[in-house]
Amino acid sequence: MRDFIRTNFFPFKATYKTSDISNLLKSQVVSSSSLNNFEIMDISSLSIIRNNSLVFLEKKIDDKNFSSKNVHIVSDIIDNKNFYENITIVKNLSDSYNKLLNEIYFHDDHIDMQDEFDFVDGSYLSKFAKIHSISFIGKNCVISRGVEIGKNCIIKDNVTIKNSLIGEDVIICENSSIGTTGFGFNLNRRGSLYLNPQIGTVIIDDGVHIGSCCTIDRGKIDSTYIGKNSMIDNMVHIAHNVVIGNNACIAAQTGISGSVKIGDNATIGGQVGFAGHITIGENVVIAAKSGVTKNVKDNSVVAGFPATDIREWKKKIIRQRKNGH
């Protein structure tokens, strides 16, 4: 999977050092210590630790990457201050994440986000986007800041693309929206004022086909990823941080919840629903209208709700019919 330069999409409002965190978070801060007062260059997830970055930590973890790179921890677990030299303890991690990222980044769920567009052949193209000369952009499209579109791509009418890296030979059909905000918020504090800032991207690899009226949300911190030569039918929703392997085939009206991982060569029928944070193996087949609530092993064929081995599902249907259901 390609990495990305976050500030191409979400510029910093100013220069910040770790010593500024306490002032930015103010009443949220319980305690703070910083052995190295470095300039903050990025935000890291636990999956990809970047140098000179902040990590928001909601559990106890001993990671050598935190000491091998300039990393400052923000956590609401008080005991974590005994493990790390660069750490700020806060009262509420979700509120601190929201406040800090809204303070330091321009992003497109914030009223002061800025972009500059040229009106070209009936579409709005950002001056900060990179579009290969041998690619086609249809009418009424919006291609926003930081987007890169590779060679031989076809972007059909009324498509919106933001916060995304598009490979070569990709087709995106009419009325699809790529790179929009993920559905991230605290269940106890709802509404637009409490959305978790989503500062990741979408990466669509080479040879992917995306149908009409699809939505693919950008990652929270890292990327939502669609693997090479995958086929996405119409009206499919792919939530933030989903990773789909190569050669996937996903039929219409499927909904994939956040942080689901799907292996190579998956075949997914129409109207399948996925619970979040589960892993689907390689060469898996999922029958239409299934509800997938747990991990699925490699080479499985599943059906039903909750999705189970298709042979067991067929036996269940036969029993129900015999009982008059």
Cα distance between residue 160 and residue 280, in whole Å: 29
Cα distance between residue 115 and residue 146, in whole Å: 10
* Cα separations in angstroms, 108 against 96, 182, 201: 19, 12, 12
**Active-site residues: which are they?**
240
172: part of which helix (H) or strand (E)? strand 171-172
Cα distance between residue 201 and residue 108, in whole Å: 12
Cα distance between residue 211 and residue 280, in whole Å: 22
Are 154 and 171 in contact by the 8 Å Cβ rule? The answer is: yes
Cα distance between residue 309 and residue 306, in whole Å: 10
21: part of which helix (H) or strand (E)? helix 21-25
Tokens of 248: 């996937």
Contacts of 231 (CB under 8 A, 6+ apart): 208, 209, 248, 249, 250
- One-letter amino acid at 281 equals G
**Long-range contact pairs involving 224-232 (C-beta distance under 8 Å, separation at least 24):** 224/182, 224/200, 225/1, 226/202, 227/264, 228/167, 230/205, 232/208
Are 75 and 58 in contact by the 8 Å Cβ rule? The answer is: yes
Are 248 and 230 in contact by the 8 Å Cβ rule? The answer is: yes
